[in-house]
Structure 1
Amino acid sequence: MADWIFLICYALIIGHELDAIKQKEWRIFPGTNLLPDQLGFQVFTVLHVPLFVVLNWLFFLTNAQMMATAKFWFALFAIAHIGAHWLCRNHKEYRFNTPLSQFLIWAPGVFGALYLVI
């Protein structure tokens, strides 16, 4: 059961990252916010490839102890991610105000918390 809860948390974060492209999240991050829009989009998108390679390796291809540790920290991240969005909510480029965007921010945190409790 815990594995399914974690997978849902992880899938929701991936969904959020897809939404983050639509919402132009690179305009909020220091560094990418200075880039022209098309380049910011490209950098933001391309950086997610190695990120997801590393996460998939940690969650599914390492030893049991490393997997458990990585999943624990990712679940904590999913919870803290809600706070990060709350802190950025007044940024002039913040666009995560739709019901779908809010769902894709809050739901991973809920599933991350459930994973930590189970």
Structure 2
Amino acid sequence: MDAFHLSLAAMLTHEMDATFRHEWRILPLLNLIPDDDTARDVFIVLHIPLCWWIFAACQGSKAARFVFCAFAVIHVGLHYLLRHHPLYEFNNATSWSIILLSGAAGLVHNLLMIRAHSLKSTRRR
């Protein structure tokens, strides 16, 4: 298993945790749905096309994997910025460990990709 797959696995695990932690309550648009059960269901169902797209796009595409891993890093920052939101529920070691693992693995993946690309470019000269 490589860093990309670790980042993806941690992100998927985070999404399971996000259901438990009511993430839809702080997400734009979903937080406008007045019924919490409906908002939760929409949040869950939206993950079907999202996951399908991620799996399809990242299969064999280095660029898509790079973008996903960049998002994983940005995602850490988003959680950091939202940590004081009154409805934020990821304020525990387990949630943060999963979020950080996805971002760290994504960062490692992208740094290794950049390094490999740089080495390949150097060899061509």
TM over 0.5: yes
* Structure 2: gaps spanning 5 or more residues: 113-125
5 Å matches for 1:58-97?
Answer: 58-60=57-59, 64=60, 67-97=61-91
* 1:51-108 Cα deviation digits (max 9, x unpaired): 0001110112xxx4xx111000111101000110111111110000111100111111
Unaligned runs of 5+ in 1: none
Q: Which one-letter code corresponds to 1:54 in the other structure?
A: W
Partner in structure 1 of residue 53 of structure 2? 54
Identity of aligned residues (%): 35
2:21 equivalent in structure 1: 23
The letter for the 1-side match of 2:97 is: F
Equivalent position of 1:32 in the other structure: 30
Matched residues, number: 111
| AA matched with 1:50 | P
| Structure 1 equivalent of residue 3 of structure 2 | 5
> Post-superposition, which runs of at least 4 consecutive aligned residues in structure 1 deviate over 3 A?
none
Q: How does 1:90-109 map to 2 (within 5 A)?
A: 90-109=84-103
TM-score normalised per structure 1:
0.90
**2:12 alignment counterpart:** 14
Q: Distance between the aligned counterparts of 2:72 and 2:9, measured in 1?
A: 11
One-letter code aligned to 2:38: L
CA distance in 2 between counterparts of 1:30 and 1:14 reads: 20
Structure showing greater radius of gyration is 2
Alpha-carbon distance in 2 for matches of 1:44, 1:37: 10
Equivalent position amino acid for 2:6 in 1: I
TM-score (norm 2): 0.85
CA-CA distance at 1:32 after TM superposition? 1.1
| TM-superposed deviation, 1:5 | 1.2
